Amino acid sequence: MKRTLFDDDHEAFRDTCRAFVDRHLRPAQEKHIANHEFGRDMWLEMGKQGLLGLSIPEEYGGSGVDDPRFSLVLAEELSKLAFAYSSCVGIHSDCVAPYLVDLCTTEQKERWLPRFCTGELVTAIGMTEPSGGSDLAALKTTAVRDGDDWILNGSKTFITNGYSADLVLVAARTSPEKKARGITLFAVEAGMPGFERGRKLDKVGQPEADTSELFFADVRVPAANVIGEVDSGFVYMMQRLTTERMGSAVNNLSHARQILDETLEYVRERKAFGQPIGSFQANKFRLAELVTSSEVAQAFVDACVLEQVEHRLTPVDAAKAKWWTAQVQNEVLDACVQLYGGYGYMTEYRVARAWQDARVSRIWAGSNEIMKELIGRDLGL
C-alpha cells in the first residue's frame, strides 16, 4: 500500500538524506563501530548539509520547519543503515531541540542554537540514573541554590551522545519535598568543573552510538543555564516524551523493514534441497506474516504522524505506536536471523547486527511495560 503522508518536498528531502548516508556514513561505518561514536566530522557534515536544525527557527540558523515529517524522513533513512545513527541524531535534533526552542530565553537561544545547527554543539539529555529510569520522579541527582548559581551533585547513566555532548540537559531535584513537582532541567556544558564522563558503555548492539555515564560533583551551574521554570522539569519531560516516542516508533519500523527487504532478497537466492529457501511454505507463510505485521503497524504509525503534524497526537497513541513497533521490529528481526541460518548469527552480516541493535527498543524511551501502564491508565484501569 502506498504511504500517503509524504509529498514531493518530503521525497526530495529523502533523496538528500540518502545521498548523505551513502556518501558520508556508509563508507565510515566500520570506523564508527571501532570508535563507539560517529565523530565530530559527521556532525559537522550534517550541519553543513542543513540536516541538524530542521525545527530550529531560521533566525538561529535552522530551517524553521514546523513539520515533523522532514525529521522522520531523515530518521528513516538513518535507521536503514543502522539503528544507532537515528538514535544519536534523534536525541540531538528531535528530543533536545524542542526543549531549547520552546523553553529557552532569547539569550540562551542565541548562545546555543546557531552552533546546535552547525554540529559544533552536540547535545544529549540525562534523565536516567543508575538507581532507575522508569520512575523518573524518583531521580536522585540534586541541585541546591547558592547565590546566583546551582550546585549539582549526582550521576546519570546510559546517556546517548553522553561522551561527545557539549551540552547535556540534566534533570535534577531542586525541591525534594515536592517530589515530581520539584525537578528542574539544567544545561550542563562541557568543561564545567566537576562534570566528568565515564567510559563509553559496551552495549549488546548499536556500537556506532556513544552511550555514557555522566558524573556531577559540586558542578556550579549558573542560573542562566536553568531551562524554563524551576521545579517544572518533570512536566516539561512528560510533555516532550510523546515526540521522542514517535521518533522511536518510526525508527523501529524503518529499521525492521529494511532488513526484511534484504532478507526477502536473500531467501530468493539461497537454496536448500534444490529450491530457494523462501519457496518452502513454512518460510513463505512466515514472511507473509512479517510483511503484514510491519505494514499494518506502519499504517498506524503514519496515522499518528499525521496527528502529530496537526499538533493533536495524544501521549497514549504515541505509547501504543512505540511499544507495538518495538515488538514488531524484534519479531521481524528475530525471524530474519532464522531465515539467514548460521550466517544470521555472524556479526559481519547486517541482519545479525540489526537484531542486536533492536533489542533495546523494548527498553528505552519508556519500556514496553511502562507504555502499557500508560495505555492501561487511559482505560481507567
143 DSSP β-pair partners = 152
Write down the least CB distance from residue 39 to ligand FAD, Å: 18
d(CA 60, CA 309): 22
Residue 74 burial (CB count, 10 A):
26
- Range 322-361, binding ligand FAD (CB under 6 A): 360
Residue 364 near ligand FAD by CB under 6 A: yes
d(CA 354, CA 137): 33
Rounded CA separation 146/231 (Å) = 16
Distance from the Cα of residue 257 to its chain's centroid:
18
Q: Pick from 11, 132, 229, 346 the residue near ligand FAD by CB under 6 A.
A: 132
Contact 255, 329 (CB under 8 A): yes
* x/- map, 288-327, ligand FAD, by CB under 6 A: ----------------------------------------
**Would you call 110 a catalytic residue per the annotation?**
no
Pairing of strands 123-126, 167-173: parallel
Exactly one of 244, 265, 307, 310 is catalytic; which is it?
A: 244
Q: Minimal distance in Å, beta carbon 205 to ligand FAD?
A: 8
Supply the minimum distance, in Å, between the C-beta of residue 283 and ligand FAD. Answer: 32
Options 42, 113, 127, 170; binder of ligand FAD; rule CB under 6 A: 127
Contact 163, 196 (CB under 8 A): no
Q: Is residue 378 at the binding interface for ligand FAD, with CB under 6 A as the rule?
A: no
Instruction: For residue 165, give Cα distances in angstroms to 151, 199, 206.
Output: 20, 13, 18
Q: Is 215 in the site for ligand FAD (CB under 6 A)?
A: no
Q: Which residues bind ligand FAD (CB under 6 A)?
A: 91, 124-128, 132-134, 158-160, 203, 211, 360, 363-365, 367, 369-370, 373
Which residues are catalytically annotated?
244
